[in-house]
A and B are shown apart, each in its own frame.
Chain A
C-alpha cells in the first residue's frame, strides 16, 4: 500500500517568490493535515481538512499561505510571497475520519534564500 506522497521533496527559492507543495494522501483517508516542522522542533499544525472542508485553519498565516483540497483527495499548500522565515519542512499527513493514527509523508524541505 502506498503511503502519503509529497512533492517536491526539496525546493530552493528566492525570497518574495511563490512556492507550492503537493500532497496525495493514503487512499480512502478523509482527513488531511498540513504541518510545519522547523529545524529541531516538533511539527505544528497549519491546516486540517475533513474531505474538502477546512475544519481547522486557525494556525495558517492567511496573509501569505493558502491551501486547497478541491476534490477531497489531494491537496496543495501555497506560499506567496515566501519569506526567509518560511524555511522549514512542510509535512502532510492523513487519516481515516475519526481515527487517531495519522500517517505522515516524507515532507518537502523548503529553503528560502
Chain B
C-alpha cells in the first residue's frame, strides 16, 4: 500500500523558474511532513518540514504548502538554480519522532542553466 504518492516523477525547469512537486497522503494519522533532498551517491538530507497546524512554511527559496482537507502538500522551489538539481522526496510520519518515515517515490529535478 503506497501511503504517500508523489508527482511528477521527473521535472525539468529553466534556471530562475519555479519548481513544484506534489504529494498526497492517505493516513490521516500522519502529523509530520518533511521534504528530503538527495544528490547522487549521498543519503537524503532534510530540506524543510511542516506540521498540519500551519498551511504554509517558507525557508529561503523553499516553501511547503499544506492542505489538510485534501490530504496534499507540495514543495515550491523559487528561483531554481542548477545546484538544486537532485532527487526530492516527500515523506510523512505520525507521532513525535517515534515513527519511521514513509517516503514518496521521488522526483528527479533538473534545472537547466
Question: Which A residues are closer than 8 A to B by beta carbons?
Answer: 4, 31, 33, 35, 40-45, 48, 56, 91, 93, 95-107
For A95, give the chain B residue with the smallest CB separation: B97
Q: Which DSSP category, helix, strand, loop or mixed, fits chain A's interface?
A: loop
Q: Which B70-96 residues sit within 8 Å CB-CB of chain A?
A: 89, 91, 93, 96
- Report B-chain residues with C-beta under 8 Å of the C-beta of A106: 41-43
Question: Is B32 in the interface zone, CB < 8 Å from A?
Answer: yes
- Report B-chain residues with C-beta under 8 Å of the C-beta of A43: 44, 89, 101, 103
Across the interface, A33 reaches (CB within 8 A) one of B32, B100, B104, B106, namely B100
Across the interface, B100 reaches (CB within 8 A) one of A40, A48, A96, namely A48
Contact A100 B100 (CB under 8 A): no
5 cross-chain CB contacts under 8 A:
A35-B100, A42-B104, A91-B43, A98-B98, A104-B45
Interface contacts (Cβ under 8 Å), in number, total 58
- Min CB distance B47 to A, Å, is 11
For B104, give the chain A residue with the smallest CB separation: A42
Known: A35-B100, A100-B49. 10 other contacts (CB 8 A): A41-B105, A42-B105, A42-B106, A44-B103, A45-B100, A91-B44, A100-B32, A100-B34, A100-B96, A106-B43
- Report A-chain residues with C-beta under 8 Å of the C-beta of B42: 106
User: Which one of B96, B98, B99 has the highest number of Cβ atoms from chain A below 10 Å of its Cβ?
Assistant: B98
> Interface code B4-42, partner A: CB below 8 Å = 1, 0 otherwise?
101000000000000000000000000010101000011
- Min CB distance B56 to A, Å, is 18
- Min CB distance A34 to B, Å, is 10
- Min CB distance A29 to B, Å, is 11
User: A97 to B45, alpha carbons, bound, how many Å?
Assistant: 18
- Report A-chain residues with C-beta under 8 Å of the C-beta of B105: 40-42
User: A93 to B42, alpha carbons, bound, how many Å?
Assistant: 12
User: A45 to B96, alpha carbons, bound, how many Å?
Assistant: 17
User: A56 to B98, alpha carbons, bound, how many Å?
Assistant: 10
User: A101 to B45, alpha carbons, bound, how many Å?
Assistant: 9
- Report B-chain residues with C-beta under 8 Å of the C-beta of A42: 4, 6, 89, 91, 103-106
Question: Is B54 in the interface zone, CB < 8 Å from A?
Answer: no
